[in-house]
Amino acid sequence: MRPRLKRLSIVLAALSTGAAGVVAGVLAAAPEAHALNNGLSIRPAMGWSTWSFVRRSPTAAKVMAQADAMKNSGLAAHGYTYVNLDDFFQKCDSNGFVVDGFGRWTVDTAKFPNGIKAVADHVHSLGLKFGLYVTPGIPENAVTKNTPIQGTSFHAKDIADTSKTERNFNCKHMFFIDYSKPGAQEYVNSFANLYASWGVDYLKIDGVGAADIPDVQAWRKALAQTGRPINYALSNNLPIANAQTWVDNANSWRTQGDVECYCSGQPNGVGYPLTRWSSIATRFNSVASWQQFAGPGHWNDYDSLEIGSGDQEIQDITGMNKNDIKRTQITLWSMAAGPLILGTDLTQLTSATPAAGVSTDKTILFNDRIIAVDQDGKAAKRIVNSGGGQVYSKKESDGSFVVALFNTNTSGSMTVSVNWSQVGFSGSGQVTDLWSGNSGGTVANTYSATLRPGETRLIRVVPGSGGGGGSTVEAEAGSIAGAAKVASCSACSGGQKVGFIGNGAANFVTLNVTPSAAGSRTLTIVYTLNGSRSFFVSVNGGTAVEVPLTGTSFATPSTKTITVNLTAGSNSVKFFNNTAFAPDLDKISVN
C-alpha cells in the first residue's frame, strides 16, 4: 500500500466508510439499479484540470509542471491523482479540427511538440493518472476529406449527419453522428483506441445534452472495448430529467455550468479571480436535487475546486472571508461526495514565494478528515433550508453521522441549528469538529453554530446510549435478508429506506434496539406505502404480531406506534410478511 493510500485508509477506517460498508442493493426504481459497472471511480475522483487556470493555452511544459507540483506539494500523498488536460490541445484550421488519416483530431505540435503520450508518460512516471478531453460528433474536415473509418470499409460521409452541428468550444465545425449507420460505433472506437494508446486514464466528453445520449452511449462502449481502465466523465449542465441515463453510462456528470466566474476583465476571462461566491452558492440547490443519483461508480460533479492559489482566486465580497468561502466549497463538495478536481495553479503550493494565503490553502486541501468525508461513498441529504441557513447530513457505516451547517448569506452572522431527530437519531451524541479535529463534547437533542456569512461547520457525531444505536435505528443499518433492498428516499431519514420486504419468508429486515431498561415500550414504525399492507413484527424471535398499515405515497413517510415488551440489553426486532409485500421501512424508534 502506497503511503498516501495508507494515511487516507486510516481516516476512512475511523469513519467506517470502507467499500464493504457501501450498501449496493437498491430498488429497481432507484438510480443504482442500472449504474455503469466499469469498476472505476468507486470513490469520487480527485485531481486537477487545466481549464480554470491554464484555460485556452495549455502546453506540455505547463501540464507537466502542474503534475510535478501535485506530486511535490504533497497533494498526491493525500489522494489527488488525476492530471487532466481540458481542451485546446488540438490543431485547427478555418474548417475546424485538422484530422488524421482516420478523421480524428490531431495535436497542436506547437503546444505539444512530442505529442500527448509524452505528457501522459511523464504524469505516469510520478505515480499519477492522465486525463484528456473530447466532444461529441465528427469533424467537418473528416467529412470533407471523407476519411476512412479505421478497420472498416466505411468512410466519414457514411456516418455524418451534416444537417446538424454539435456544440464545440474550440475549433467548432463538428457534425452530428448518425448512429443508425454502420461504421458509426467503429469510428468512436477508433478515437477511443487512439486515446488509450496515448495512456489516457480519464476522459471528459464535453458539450453533452439530451440530444447527445447516443454519443454518450457510444463512447461508453468505445472505452470499454479499449481494454484500458478509463474514468468516464460528462460535461456540462446536464439535464436532471435524463439523470438515470447519466448514471447508466458514466462515472460522473456535471450538474451545472462552469463554476468559473470569467470576471477578471481579461479576454476569455483569463486570469484571477477564478470564481466568486455566487458561482459556488448556486451549487447548494444542485447538491440537494441531485443527491439521489450519487453512489459508488457514479457521481454528481459540481465542477472545479478553486483552492490552491491563495487569496487571488476568489473575487472579493465585502463582509465575507475568502478562507470561509474555500472551506465552504470543499465542505459542500465533500458532503455531496463530488469529485475533487482542483482548477488552480498548483505551482503556487511549491513556489519559494507563493501568493498570500497559499499556506492556508494547504491546510484546507491536506485535511484528511475532510477528504474522508468526500471519499466515504455517500451523498448527503439536505435536512434544513431556512433563511440562508442550510444543514446537510449523511450516515456512516458505523452508525455515526457527518453533519455540515452553512450560512449561505452574504452578510450578517446567523445561528444555524439542527435537531438530532432531523439527522436520524435521538438523545445525545458525541461531537467532533472535523475541520479542527477538536472534540465538541456531548450534545443533547440539538446542535447549533453561530456562523459568519459564507462560513461552515462540519462535525461528526456519534449517537450515545439512547441515540442511533438504541432508541432510533435506521432500517438500512439493520440486517437485510433475501430480496429486501436499500433504496433512495429523499423524504426519509438519512435519505434511504428498505423495500422489497415480504412476499416470501426469506425477505425480511432485522433491527437491534437497546432500551434503557426492560419492560413494555412504545415502538414507532416509520414507513412508506401507497395503499394497504401489513408488517409482521417479531421481537427476539417471539410470536409475530400483524401490524396493518395504510399510506398515500411511497415517497412520503408515515408512522404507526405499537407496544412491545423488551428485555434489558440488545433486542432484535424482525419485520417481515411471508405471503405478501410489506410496506417499505424507513426507521424505528423506541420510547
Written as tens digits, the pLDDT of the chain (591 aa) is 333 343 444 344 444 333 222 222 222 233 334 578 899 999 999 999 999 999 999 999 999 999 999 999 999 999 999 999 999 999 999 999 999 999 999 999 999 999 999 999 999 999 999 999 999 999 999 999 999 999 999 999 999 999 999 999 999 999 999 999 999 999 999 999 999 999 999 999 999 999 999 999 999 999 999 999 999 999 999 999 999 999 999 999 999 999 999 999 999 899 999 999 999 999 999 999 999 999 999 999 999 999 999 999 999 999 999 999 999 999 999 999 999 999 999 999 999 999 999 999 999 999 999 999 999 989 999 999 999 999 999 998 778 999 999 999 999 999 999 999 999 988 899 999 999 999 999 999 999 999 999 999 999 999 875 444 446 788 887 788 888 988 888 888 877 899 999 999 999 999 888 776 788 989 999 999 999 999 999 999 999 999 999 999 999 999 999 999 998 777 889 999 999 999 999 999 887
Judgement on whether residues 409 and 360 belong to the same structural domain of the protein: no
Judgement on whether residues 14 and 159 belong to the same structural domain of the protein: yes
State the pTM of this model: 0.78
Judgement on whether residues 11 and 94 belong to the same structural domain of the protein: yes
Structural domain span for residue 330: 3-374
Judgement on whether residues 494 and 519 belong to the same structural domain of the protein: yes
What CATH number is attached to the domain comprising 30?
3.20.20.70
Among 414, 438, 463, the domain-final residue is: 463
Judgement on whether residues 292 and 386 belong to the same structural domain of the protein: no
Judgement on whether residues 322 and 386 belong to the same structural domain of the protein: no
What are the beta bridge partners of residue 203?
132, 232
Judgement on whether residues 235 and 144 belong to the same structural domain of the protein: yes
Judgement on whether residues 418 and 480 belong to the same structural domain of the protein: no
Q: How far is CA 216 from CA 173, 199, 238, 246, in A?
A: 19, 21, 12, 8
Give the count of domains, the chain: 3
What gap in Å lies between CA 320 and CA 537, rounded to an integer? 54
Q: Is the dihedral of CA 520, 401, 423, 27 positive or negative?
A: negative
What gap in Å lies between CA 462 and CA 534, rounded to an integer? 33
- Asked if 433 contacts 440 with a C-beta cutoff of 8 angstroms, the reply is yes
Judgement on whether residues 39 and 103 belong to the same structural domain of the protein: yes
Judgement on whether residues 118 and 253 belong to the same structural domain of the protein: yes
What CATH number is attached to the domain comprising 569?
2.60.120.260
What are the beta bridge partners of residue 107?
90
Judgement on whether residues 313 and 420 belong to the same structural domain of the protein: no
Of the candidates 484, 412, 398, 485, the residue with the CA atom closest to the CA atom of residue 450: 412
Judgement on whether residues 99 and 125 belong to the same structural domain of the protein: yes
153 CB contacts (<8 Å, ≥6 apart)?
none
Of the candidates 446, 420, 445, 423, the residue with the CA atom closest to the CA atom of residue 494: 423
Of the candidates 345, 347, 265, the residue with the CA atom closest to the CA atom of residue 312: 345
C-alpha cell read off for 496 = 434511504
Among 463, 495, 529, the domain-final residue is: 463
What CATH number is attached to the domain comprising 406?
2.60.40.1180
Backbone φ/ψ region at 150: left (φ over 0), alpha (ψ -120 to 50), beta: beta
What gap in Å lies between CA 305 and CA 274, rounded to an integer? 10
Among 374, 391, 425, the domain-final residue is: 374
